[in-house]
Structure 1
Amino acid sequence: MSKRRNIEIMDTTLRDGEQTSGVSFSATEKLTIAKLLLEELHVDRIEIASTRVSEGEYNAVKSITSWAKEAGFIDKIEVLSFVDKGLSIEWMIKTGAKVQNLLTKGSLNHLTHQLKKTPEQHFKAISENISLALENGIETNVYLEDWSNGMRNSPDYVFEFIDFLAGQPIKRLLLPDTLGVLTPTESYDFVYSIKQRYPKIHVDFHAHNDYDLGVANVLEAVRAGADGLHLTVNGMGERAGNAPLASVVAVINDFVPEVKIGVKEKSLYKVSKLVETFSGFRIPENKPVLGDNVFTQTAGIHADGDNKKNLYFNDLLPERFGRKRQYALGKTSGKANIQKNLQQLGLYLSDEDIAKVTKRIIELGDKKEVVTKEDLPYIISDVLDSNTVEQKVIVESYVLTHSKGLRPSTTVSLRIDGELIEENAQGDGQFDAFMSTLKKIYTEKGMELPKLTDYAVRIPPGSNSDALCETVITWKLGDKSFKTRGLDSDQTVSAIVATQKMLNII
Structure 2
Amino acid sequence: MSRVEIMDTTLRDGEQTSGVSFAPQEKLSLARLLLTDIRVDRIEVASARVSEGERAAVRKIMEWGARKDYLDRIEVLGFVDGGISLDWIAECGGRVINLLTKGSEKHCKYQLRKTLEEHVADIRRDVQAAQERGIAVNIYLEDWSNGMRHSREYVYRMMDALQGLPIQRFMLPDTLGIYEPWECYEACRAMTERYPGLRFDFHAHNDYDLAVANTLAAVKAGVQGVHTTVNGLGERAGNAPLSSVIAALHDHLKADIAVDEARTNHVATVVESYSGIRIPANKPVIGENVFTQCAGIHADGDNKNNLYFNDLLPERFGRTRQYALGKSSGKANIRKNLEMLGIELDEESMTRVTQYIVELGDRKEIVTAEDLPYIVSDLLGASGDREAVRILNYSLSVAQGLRPVATVKIEIHGQAYQQTSAGDGQYDAFVSAVEAIYEHQLGREFPALVDYSVSIPPGGRTDAFVQTLITWEWNGARFKTRGLDADQTVAAIKATVKMLNKIENNTNITTP
**TM-score higher than 0.5:** yes
Q: What are the Cα deviations for residues 62-96 of structure 1, in whole angstroms up to 9, with x where unaligned?
A: 00010011111110000000011111011011100
Give matches, 1:112-261, under 5 Å.
112-257=109-254, 259-261=255-257
Whether the aligned pair in 1 keeps the contact of 2:143 and 2:176 (CA below 8 Å) is yes
Whether the aligned pair in 2 keeps the contact of 1:209 and 1:241 (CA below 8 Å) is yes
Structure 2: which amino acid aligns with 1:324? Answer: T
2:263 is aligned, of 252, 260, 267, to 267
Inter-partner Cα distance in structure 1 for 2:408 and 2:171 = 67
Inter-partner Cα distance in structure 2 for 1:460 and 1:55 = 37
Residue 297 of structure 2 corresponds to 301
Inter-partner Cα distance in structure 1 for 2:298 and 2:33 = 36
Whether the aligned pair in 2 keeps the contact of 1:468 and 1:490 (CA below 8 Å) is no
Going from structure 1 to structure 2, the CA distance change for 1:217 and 1:363 (only over 3 Å counts) comes to same
TM-score normalized by structure 2? 0.77
Q: What are the Cα deviations for residues 89-134 of structure 1, in whole angstroms up to 9, with x where unaligned?
A: 1101110010000000000100110000011111111111011111
Q: Partner of 1:152: helix, strand, or coil?
A: helix
**Cα RMSD after superposing both structures:** 2.9
Whether the aligned pair in 2 keeps the contact of 1:370 and 1:465 (CA below 8 Å) is no
- 1:327 equivalent in alignment to 2:343: no
2:347 is aligned, of 348, 351, 358, to 351
| Contiguous gaps of at least 5 residues in structure 1 | 389-400, 406-427, 433-450, 470-487, 496-506
- How many residues are paired up? 422
Inter-partner Cα distance in structure 1 for 2:118 and 2:397 = 77
- 1:107 equivalent in alignment to 2:123: no
Residue 369 of structure 2 corresponds to 373
Instruction: Give the Å deviation of 1:167.
Output: 1.3
Structure 2: which amino acid aligns with 1:50? Answer: S
Inter-partner Cα distance in structure 1 for 2:374 and 2:480 = 14
The more displaced of 460-469 and 373-382 is 460-469
Inter-partner Cα distance in structure 1 for 2:51 and 2:258 = 33
Structure 2: which amino acid aligns with 1:375? Answer: D
Residue 482 of structure 2 corresponds to 466
Residue 64 of structure 1 corresponds to 61
Going from structure 1 to structure 2, the CA distance change for 1:196 and 1:329 (only over 3 Å counts) comes to same
Structure 2: which amino acid aligns with 1:267? Answer: R
Whether the aligned pair in 2 keeps the contact of 1:374 and 1:460 (CA below 8 Å) is no
Q: Partner of 1:249: helix, strand, or coil?
A: helix
Going from structure 1 to structure 2, the CA distance change for 1:166 and 1:453 (only over 3 Å counts) comes to closer
Inter-partner Cα distance in structure 2 for 1:327 and 1:179 = 39
Residue 276 of structure 1 corresponds to 272
1:360 is aligned, of 341, 353, 356, to 356
Give matches, 1:482-497, under 5 Å.
491=494
Inter-partner Cα distance in structure 2 for 1:141 and 1:39 = 23
Whether the aligned pair in 2 keeps the contact of 1:172 and 1:203 (CA below 8 Å) is yes
Structure 1: which amino acid aligns with 2:99? Answer: L
Going from structure 1 to structure 2, the CA distance change for 1:460 and 1:228 (only over 3 Å counts) comes to closer
Structure 2: which amino acid aligns with 1:466? Answer: R
The more displaced of 453-462 and 301-310 is 453-462
Structure 2: which amino acid aligns with 1:369? Answer: E
Structure 2: which amino acid aligns with 1:142? Answer: I
Structure 2: which amino acid aligns with 1:280? Answer: G
Going from structure 1 to structure 2, the CA distance change for 1:468 and 1:119 (only over 3 Å counts) comes to closer
Inter-partner Cα distance in structure 1 for 2:383 and 2:88 = 74
Q: Partner of 1:80: helix, strand, or coil?
A: strand
Whether the aligned pair in 1 keeps the contact of 2:143 and 2:175 (CA below 8 Å) is yes
Going from structure 1 to structure 2, the CA distance change for 1:404 and 1:319 (only over 3 Å counts) comes to closer
The more displaced of 154-163 and 378-387 is 378-387
Whether the aligned pair in 2 keeps the contact of 1:375 and 1:463 (CA below 8 Å) is no
Going from structure 1 to structure 2, the CA distance change for 1:337 and 1:140 (only over 3 Å counts) comes to same
Inter-partner Cα distance in structure 2 for 1:22 and 1:489 = 29
Residue 480 of structure 1 corresponds to none
Instruction: Give the Å deviation of 1:431.
Output: 10
Inter-partner Cα distance in structure 2 for 1:191 and 1:5 = 16
Q: What are the Cα deviations for residues 20-60 of structure 1, in whole angstroms up to 9, with x where unaligned?
A: 11000001111111001010111000000000001111011
Whether the aligned pair in 2 keeps the contact of 1:374 and 1:463 (CA below 8 Å) is no
Residue 439 of structure 1 corresponds to none
Residue 456 of structure 2 corresponds to none
Inter-partner Cα distance in structure 2 for 1:37 and 1:490 = 40
Inter-partner Cα distance in structure 2 for 1:402 and 1:39 = 51
The more displaced of 349-358 and 161-170 is 349-358
Instruction: Give the Å deviation of 1:464.
Output: 2.8
Structure 1: which amino acid aligns with 2:480? Answer: N
Whether the aligned pair in 2 keeps the contact of 1:328 and 1:372 (CA below 8 Å) is yes
Structure 1: which amino acid aligns with 2:482? Answer: D
Inter-partner Cα distance in structure 2 for 1:460 and 1:220 = 41
Whether the aligned pair in 2 keeps the contact of 1:371 and 1:465 (CA below 8 Å) is no
Inter-partner Cα distance in structure 1 for 2:71 and 2:248 = 29
Going from structure 1 to structure 2, the CA distance change for 1:430 and 1:82 (only over 3 Å counts) comes to closer
Whether the aligned pair in 2 keeps the contact of 1:174 and 1:205 (CA below 8 Å) is yes
Structure 2: which amino acid aligns with 1:291? Answer: G
Structure 1: which amino acid aligns with 2:115? Answer: T
Whether the aligned pair in 2 keeps the contact of 1:378 and 1:460 (CA below 8 Å) is no
Inter-partner Cα distance in structure 1 for 2:4 and 2:326 = 43
Is the radius of gyration larger for structure 1 or structure 2?
1
| Contiguous gaps of at least 5 residues in structure 2 | 385-394, 400-405, 419-433, 436-446, 448-469, 473-477, 486-490, 499-512
Inter-partner Cα distance in structure 1 for 2:296 and 2:358 = 12
Whether the aligned pair in 1 keeps the contact of 2:3 and 2:224 (CA below 8 Å) is yes
Instruction: Give the Å deviation of 1:460.
Output: 10
Whether the aligned pair in 1 keeps the contact of 2:409 and 2:417 (CA below 8 Å) is no
Residue 389 of structure 2 corresponds to none
Inter-partner Cα distance in structure 2 for 1:239 and 1:226 = 25
Q: What are the Cα deviations for residues 139-180 of structure 1, in whole angstroms up to 9, with x where unaligned?
A: 000000000000011111100000111011110000000000
Whether the aligned pair in 1 keeps the contact of 2:377 and 2:383 (CA below 8 Å) is no
Instruction: Give the Å deviation of 1:352.
Output: 2.5
Inter-partner Cα distance in structure 2 for 1:268 and 1:403 = 46
1:383 is aligned, of 374, 379, 382, to 379
Structure 2: which amino acid aligns with 1:115? Answer: L
Whether the aligned pair in 2 keeps the contact of 1:375 and 1:468 (CA below 8 Å) is no
Whether the aligned pair in 2 keeps the contact of 1:331 and 1:363 (CA below 8 Å) is yes
Give matches, 1:417-496, under 5 Å.
453-454=416-417, 463-467=479-483, 491=494
